[in-house]
Structure 1
Amino acid sequence: MLDLDLSGLFSPQPDASGAPTVQILTVCTGNVCRSPLAEQLLRTRLAPLDVAVSSAGTRALIDRPMDADAVRLAALLGVPADDSAAHRGRWLSETELVSPDLVLAMAREHRAGVVELAPARTRSTFTVREFARLAADVPDAQVREAADAAGTDPHARMRATLALLAERRGVVAPPSAASGDDVVDPYRRSWETYQLSAAQLMPAVEQVLRVLRATLA
């Protein structure tokens, strides 16, 4: 059974220009299960910070709605129904990689696809579970110290935090074969597989939320 955390539900608060400052992109294959669920969880829980979250797929089912079981998971995890209902699959292209401050891939194959399209995104692209693994032993105070050293600009603060985590690649122990850095793809599989996918995703999302709040709040 999923341990449901329904805290952190707020209405988004854009800046005075109407455009959120920091942008996050989540990426999976079809953009109908894992990445939209991650997108919606982050968007719901990061409000009222000035952050926009979107998603795309490396082999997207273009204009397809979110998978029904992924919608069911999203609802159980506190995502507003309208948010899930509005989703349509979107193809990952170089254009989508121009503006994000952070790209969170659902699996290593998706991270490789992002870096192939936009090599300059190497240090700002992580699998979501890799991000969590690298961040796990970094306290909030250290995140804030790195971000504060970069000044008040939110993009610069994000770059400083992501550089801090990227430097830990090759230092932090790699994941075990059993855990890995991927979130399992549940598409067209059993409800138990959807639950497993969410159980892998949620702890990673919580680490992302912690680090971003320490960086931007």
Structure 2
Amino acid sequence: MDNSAPVKILTVCTGNICRSPVAERLLQAGLDQAVPGGFQVASAGTRAMVGEPMQPISAEIVRTYGGDPEGFAARQLTPAILRGVDLVLTMTSGHRGEVLQLDASLLKRTFTIREFARMLDVLDQRDTSASTDNAADDDGWLAAHTTRWRGLPARAAGVRHLSLPADPAENDIVDPYRRPPEVYRQMEDQLAPAIVSILRHARLNSPVRGDAAGAP
């Protein structure tokens, strides 16, 4: 596997017009800041409204957090889209099951986004090593990042027992499609903290370029 290639993340919901597009665009924007060129984030739906743009309130949420909703078009989840993905983040446990029906080999790389975020919070609390401990020269910087993130699902799964919610429903993001604006806000309230946790982990654990590590 090419360790100079970006880490591929796929977010998944049902129609691919409300939840997973928000996760896609906000993760991409934040990860681009943390590790420029280090990630490629995309999304798809298990019953996608193919070709449709993001729902207006979802697009508004993306803009609120500094992302760009323009140019989005919904895609149907297929085995071809799943091929080569390093991490799948679904909006519900049901979506996770549908992903695994298409590609069972992704069992250890597929999580609900809220579940994965809680696992990263646990890892960050346990791991006190600073990113400066991972300094690398320019040639090795991206490879070090990619290697670490491709191993992250296994590390995260290792602390699953420490991050279980009191209610399994807390693993899911509510579906706001064709529902009142307040349900979109509920979606935002559930999704935003998970995205923040993932971006925080990326910033805290980004390998440092050799020249930056040696700077005064």
**TM-score (structure 1 length as normaliser):** 0.80
Deviation at 1:157, TM superposition (A): 1.4
Range that drifts further, 98-107 or 205-214: 205-214
Identify the residue that residue 164 of structure 1 maps to in structure 2: 155
Distance between the aligned counterparts of 2:166 and 2:183, measured in 1?
A: 20
Q: Are residue 34 (structure 1) and residue 19 (structure 2) matched? A: yes
State the match for 2:118 in structure 1: 133
Report sequence identity in percent: 37
**Structure 1 stretches of 4+ moved >4 Å:** none
CA distance in 2, matches of 1:113, 1:212: 27
1:190-205 aligned at under 5 Å gives the runs: 190-205=180-195
Cα distance between partner residues in 2 of 1:90 and 1:97: 12
Residues 1:213 and 2:203 aligned together: yes
Displacement of 1:21 in angstroms is 1.4
* C-alpha distance after superposition, 1:97-127 (max 9, x if no partner): 1122111101111111111111111111110
Q: Which residue of 2 aligns with 1:175?
A: 165
Change (3 A) 1:112 1:178: closer
Match of 2:58 among 60, 70, 75: 70
1:7 maps to: none
Could you tell me which residue of structure 2 aligns to residue 5 of structure 1?
A: none
Question: Is residue 2:70 matched to residue 1:79?
Answer: no
CA RMSD of aligned residues (A): 2.4
Residue 202 of structure 1: how far off its partner (Å): 0.6
The number of equivalent residue pairs is 192
Shift of 1:216: 3.8
* Deviation (angstroms), 1:137: 2.0
- Select the residue among 31, 35, 39 that pairs with 1:46: 31
Cα gap change, 1:102 to 1:215, in 2 (>3 Å): farther
Is 1:106 aligned to 2:86, yes or no?
no
Higher relative contact order (CA 8 A, sep 6+): 2
For residues 93 and 144 of structure 1, do their structure 2 counterparts lie closer, same or farther at Cα, with a shift above 3 Å needed? Answer: farther
Mapped to 2, the partners of 1:99 and 1:211 lie a distance apart of: 23
Q: TM-score under structure 2 normalisation?
A: 0.80
Offset of residue 177 of structure 1: 2.5
Cα shift at 1:179: 5.7
Deviations 1:154-176 (A, max 9, x none): 4431232221111223x225212
Task: Name the residue aligned to 1:25.
Answer: 10
| Counterparts in 2 of 1:68 and 1:93: CA distance versus 1, 3 Å | same
User: Which residue of 2 is the match for residue 124 of structure 1?
Assistant: 109
SS in 1 for 2:84: coil
Structure 1 residues 20-41: Cα deviation after superposition (integer angstroms, max 9, x where no partner):
5111110000000100000000
User: Which stretch shifts more, 132-141 or 114-123?
Assistant: 132-141
